[in-house]
Amino acid sequence: MPSPTRDAFPATFFQPSPLGIDLQAPPTPRTQRTLRKLQSAHNLGAASKIVSSSSIVLTQQKLRDVHSRDISPTRRQALNRSPQRHRANSDASGSANLPNLRAASSSTSLHAKRAALGRSSSAAEALSLDRLIRDGPPDDDVSSALANVRFKVLDQGIKSDIDGMSSSRIYIWLILLDAPVLTTDDYLKLVHRGASPAYSKIRNDTFRTLTTDPLFRRRVSEASLIRLLNAIAWILHDFKEVRRPSSSRQSLPASNSASPARSDTSQAIASSPAARSRARALTLTTEGSDANAAEPGTYVQGMNVLAAPFLYAARSEAEAFVAFHQLLTKECPGYIRGAMDGVHRGLALVDKVLGIVDTKLSLYLTSKGLSAEIYAFPSVLTLCACTPPLPEVLRLWDFLLAYGPHLNILCIVAQLIMMRNELLNSSSPNKLLRSFPTLHADQIKAHALAIIKMIPNEVYEEIVNHAL
């Protein structure tokens, strides 16, 4: 599902600059590829596949009706418009820009800002998030219902207990990720294939996953994590075989096992060859891969941590699997492709954004030889899932999956801003950055929303596209 534009955020969530800097909404990018990524949340794309057997959120019939409609002239005009705005004052000093973030994060509560929006014309506005998910869109207004789901996630959050458990979170995530239908039998067929070529690499990672988090260790077993990652590795492996030239495929020995039935998870998998001989199963690496858009991904170290929140939030491994697969292949394929070029582009953007919003802190870290490549690699790759506590990770992910995982770059910068005084007063800031302080999702979101208004258009476009 395409990530929303900056215009999708309600205007009252952004606070005016106390310094008088003109921070307006950016123009819509004009390139066709960026338009597809930045287009409004009203375009449901392939959302006709979003169905849960146990909790039908948006019925298939209603979604098919949406697919059959043309984009309205009003929406088409909104996609093509390019409003002008002044560039953000990226040359301002870090100490001057910092009050913008502080004011946005502490002046008013999200609920107060929400009240200022006035009444919505959509019937979905009157429904609670749980009821909207359970009953589906009122009056068949799927587009408005989806927009309201995003806003309610941002404004009210997803109800959960003290451990972060929620009966609706996984279904909301599946909707926001535009995840296709996957039966448990299809998932089991992948599991029953046995060890994938990446199996040894997976076993080297899983026992270290969130070892200090008792909530995760109590709810998710290592065996469950191994099964999910191994199934993902099989799909990535199969797709890689599909992309391999036919001459290269013929040179490999045939598999001793029959090819399993395929699911709707990936159309490419339907034409994949039989599984290769386990005797030739070697750990997949990213070395020597071609980091272009056509190159499929492979299993990389760190995917175990990225999968952990899905297994914790889901009610079954199959739900966690399809959500995780959708995140990897649709939202951030660049993180597992080539030499993880998407991650490295994200790290460069952390440095760039920090230099814009807090020049003083950026220069100080640079003077100490600290770039994002050194301290932020795990946070970029795992969408901050590497930083405890897990319930706060889930709340932050609610925001990221609602408005785009690319916003994780801004969330990392927000955490640096929140550590600003400690970093500037430390002669060895590298010690503080070895492990980030515990997450506070609401504060991070508030800072990230302020940062969105402070960065130039072209930088925001880079953030949106860096993981593709």
* Extents of the domains making up the chain: 184-287+306-317
| DSSP for residue 371 | -
Name the strand (E) or helix (H) holding 366.
Answer: helix 359-367
Interhelix angle 303-313/199-206, rounded to 10 degrees, is 70
Distance CA(20)–CA(107), nearest Å, equals 17
Which own/partner contact pairs does 354-357 have at CB distance under 8 Å and 24+ positions apart?
354/413, 354/416, 355/90, 356/88, 356/90, 356/97, 356/454, 356/455, 356/456, 356/459, 357/94, 357/97, 357/98, 357/100, 357/101, 357/413, 357/417, 357/451, 357/454, 357/455
| Lowest-pLDDT range of 56-65, 129-138, 378-387, 413-422 | 56-65
Interhelix angle 408-418/441-452, rounded to 10 degrees, is 110
Higher pLDDT, 353 or 54: 353
Look at the block and give the residue holding tokens 């030739």. Answer: 280
Higher pLDDT, 89 or 352: 352
* Average pLDDT for 168-190: 93
Distance CA(440)–CA(388), nearest Å, equals 9
| Lowest-pLDDT range of 89-103, 241-255, 367-381 | 89-103
Q: Which residues contact 11 (CB under 8 A, 6 or more apart)?
A: none
Over the stretch 251-309, which tens digit does the pLDDT of each residue have?
Answer: 333 333 333 333 444 443 333 333 333 222 222 333 333 334 456 688 999 999 999 99
* 380 contacts 304 by C-beta, under 8 angstroms: no
Mean pLDDT of the chain: 73
Distance CA(265)–CA(299), nearest Å, equals 17
Residue 388 φ/ψ, nearest 5 degrees: -75, 170
Higher pLDDT, 104 or 139: 139
* 353 contacts 455 by C-beta, under 8 angstroms: yes
First to last CA, the chain: 13
pLDDT computed for residue 402 by the predictor: 95
Name the strand (E) or helix (H) holding 204.
Answer: helix 199-206
pLDDT computed for residue 244 by the predictor: 65
Over the stretch 345-366, which tens digit does the pLDDT of each residue have?
Answer: 999 999 999 999 999 999 999 9
Over the stretch 199-236, which tens digit does the pLDDT of each residue have?
Answer: 999 999 999 999 989 999 999 999 999 999 999 999 99
Residue 126: half-sphere exposure toward Cβ, Cα within 13 Å: 5
Over the stretch 398-455, which tens digit does the pLDDT of each residue have?
Answer: 999 999 999 999 999 999 999 999 999 999 999 999 999 999 999 999 999 999 999 9
* 180 contacts 60 by C-beta, under 8 angstroms: no
**Short-list 320, 289, 324, 284, CA closest to 300:** 284
pLDDT computed for residue 181 by the predictor: 87
Residue 179's alpha-carbon distances to 45, 47, 158, in angstroms, are 11, 8, 19
Give the dihedral of Cα atoms 396, 397, 400, 406; nearest 10 deg: 100
* Average pLDDT for 147-163: 92
Structure tokens belonging to residue 60: 């298939």
**Short-list 204, 199, 196, CA closest to 235:** 196
Residue 349's alpha-carbon distances to 200, 290, 322, 338, in angstroms, are 33, 22, 29, 19
| Lowest-pLDDT range of 111-125, 141-155, 222-236, 395-409 | 111-125
Distance CA(402)–CA(147), nearest Å, equals 9
Burial class (CB in 10 A: 0-12, 13-18, 19+), 219: middle
**Short-list 400, 373, 291, CA closest to 336:** 291
Q: Taking the alpha carbons of 251, 252, 257, 258 in that order, is the dihedral positive or negative? A: negative
Interhelix angle 408-418/390-403, rounded to 10 degrees, is 130
* Average pLDDT for 317-324: 96
Q: Is the pLDDT of residue 188 over 90?
A: yes
Structure tokens belonging to residue 133: 């998910």
Structure tokens belonging to residue 130: 């749980």
**Short-list 319, 8, 313, CA closest to 154:** 8
Distance CA(362)–CA(345), nearest Å, equals 17
CB atoms within 10 A of CB 66: 20
Angle ∠(103,105,110) on CA atoms, nearest 5:
120
